[in-house]
Amino acid sequence: MIDEQQPAPASLPGSKDSRNSQVPVSSHPHEPGRRFGIRDGLFQAITQGGGEQYLSAFALLFHATPFHLSILSAIPQLLGTWAQLLSVKVSHWFPNRKAQVFWGIIGQSVSWIPIIALPLLWPHLGPWLLIAGVAMYFAFTHFASPAWNSLITDLLDPNERGMYFAKRARVMAMTSFLTLCLGGALLSYFEHQQLLWIGFAIMFLTAGLCRSASALALAQVTDLPSHELGDNPTGFREFLRTGTSRNFHYFLLFSGLMHAAVLVAGPFFVIYMIQDLQLPYWEYGTWLAAGIIGQFVTLTAWGQFGDRFGNKALLTMTGFIVPVLPMLYLISTAWPFLVIVNFFGGVIWAGLSLGLQNYVFDVVQPADRAKAVAVVSIVNALGWAAGTFIGSWLIGTIPGVLQVGAIALQPVSNLPFIFFLSGALRLLVSSTLLGTFREPRDVEQRAHRHLFWELPLLKPLSQLALRRPTGSNP
């Protein structure tokens, strides 16, 4: 599962003059475009929190199987990322990147109509029609992604990207949290009225309207920079062969395999929560929201960490913690415990997602960013699809009881075993690949044992522990 409160810096933080200047934020030459990036994040978060996060729950309304859920998770992402390749290929059809992003957002907005209408009209085909509608939605989402990332990064200095995207992600996290809570309460109300489909319809139509609002906000921005094409070859093969570094190639491998390891478990938490544990929708929504809160409270610190120590250090620190998260679901089924686990999951995923996103911007030339984003998304989608299908196969293969000597582990289903296996695969990916690529920027160097105490939540605790009592001797 990727915003903040401080206004974006008015001047480039990488120079001495910028640190001493008192230029108002509004004087930045591309400030309206930077503000649009934050507003777009807000509208997108409503769409995610009240739409995307509940798609799997909507599928269960039509008796979707684990296989349906794996298809729902994998195929839309896979088709959507091929849309990124198409997006780069046909970018010259559009007068500018703004137009390309605008029509991609409009397509996302319209896609919510078939997502909600087709399964309700033909419920016997509901899971498959939902998959088709979601595939259309993600195709438009990914079609706009390369141009959007290229456009926004042109508005930012390399040393402020971490803080800007953390600010945007924090806005999204808080908005998603509120939307998730409202969505869970809305579904619980209509479930009590035995009209659950009406709750989903209200949420999904609201999601579509919010994407339309984002398109309207973009239409009002007139000062976006033009796109300068580089001298590198335009073909993706040539880009990978001559326009990228060894660091980028190993990063691709790490990112794709990490997605595969994560998605072995990812699509099936909804089954575990709603069907196996039989949580009401408000408890399921709260569990989702806990992860969003974890992101919200730490995104600023993660952005500062990445800007100061580099995104490779960010990936290293989070890459060795994220394997522990799914393993914890073997310990207990108590709802408060699950909420706490997902809160810390949000904390770690906030840093890992920020590092995965920003490392791409650092490791390639500015003119190649759109191609790089498309290539990374394709590799991630292949890993995403492989992981979901492996997870679906494991559900029918792994037994529900594990006998170790005289001790028998028998959770409510075999899903906690699959979650544990996902964690083991994540650890294998991190331990074998994180040492194969390097930080491309000139950043502050620290040993990993010292970086550990710079992590969000840990840093303020360590500062508090080391603080001298008032009046103590020096």
Structural Rg of the chain based on CA atoms: 22
64 band by pLDDT with thresholds 50, 70 and 90: confident
Residue 9 has pLDDT above 70, yes or no: no
The pLDDT of residue 225: 58
Q: Are the C-beta atoms of residues 392 and 66 closer than 8 Å to each other?
A: yes
Instruction: Over range 362-379, report the average pLDDT.
Output: 81
Spatial separation of the C-alpha atoms in residues 442 and 312, rounded to whole Å? 12
Q: How many residues does the chain have?
A: 474
The pLDDT of residue 41: 84
Identify the residue with better confidence: 443 or 320. Answer: 320
pLDDT digits (tens, 9 = 90+) for 124-165: 898 999 999 999 998 898 888 878 877 777 777 777 777 788
Residue ranges per domain, the chain?
Answer: 29-225+239-439+446-458
152: tokens are 């926004």
Name the average pLDDT for the chain. Answer: 81
Residue 428 has pLDDT above 70, yes or no: yes
The pLDDT of residue 258: 96
462 band by pLDDT with thresholds 50, 70 and 90: low
The pLDDT of residue 129: 93
Place of tokens 């001047």: 11
402 band by pLDDT with thresholds 50, 70 and 90: confident
Identify the residue with better confidence: 402 or 273. Answer: 273
Q: Quick one: three-class SS letters along 254-284?
A: HHHHHHHHHHCCHHHHHHHHHHHCCCCHHHH
Identify the residue with better confidence: 164 or 342. Answer: 342
10 band by pLDDT with thresholds 50, 70 and 90: very low
Identify the residue with better confidence: 2 or 183. Answer: 183
The pLDDT of residue 78: 76
Instruction: Over range 54-65, report the average pLDDT.
Output: 89
Identify the residue with better confidence: 41 or 221. Answer: 41
Percent of the chain with pLDDT over 90: 30
17 band by pLDDT with thresholds 50, 70 and 90: very low
Spatial separation of the C-alpha atoms in residues 307 and 269, rounded to whole Å? 33
Identify the residue with better confidence: 203 or 173. Answer: 203
The pLDDT of residue 26: 45
Residue 399 has pLDDT above 50, yes or no: yes
Instruction: Over range 265-289, report the average pLDDT.
Output: 89
The pLDDT of residue 471: 45
pLDDT digits (tens, 9 = 90+) for 73-130: 887 777 877 787 788 778 778 877 888 888 989 999 999 999 999 998 998 898 999 9
460 band by pLDDT with thresholds 50, 70 and 90: low
Query: What is the number of alpha carbons within 13 Å of residue 77 lying toward its C-beta?
Result: 25
**Dihedral sign for Cα atoms in the order 425, 139, 284, 212:** positive
The pLDDT of residue 168: 85
pLDDT digits (tens, 9 = 90+) for 409-423: 888 899 999 999 999
pLDDT digits (tens, 9 = 90+) for 199-255: 999 999 999 999 888 888 887 776 565 555 444 445 666 666 666 788 888 999 999
> What is the CATH architecture of 29-225+239-439+446-458?
Up-down Bundle (1.20)
The pLDDT of residue 20: 39
List beta partners, residue 409. 402
The pLDDT of residue 326: 95
Instruction: Over range 39-56, report the average pLDDT.
Output: 87
List beta partners, residue 408. 403
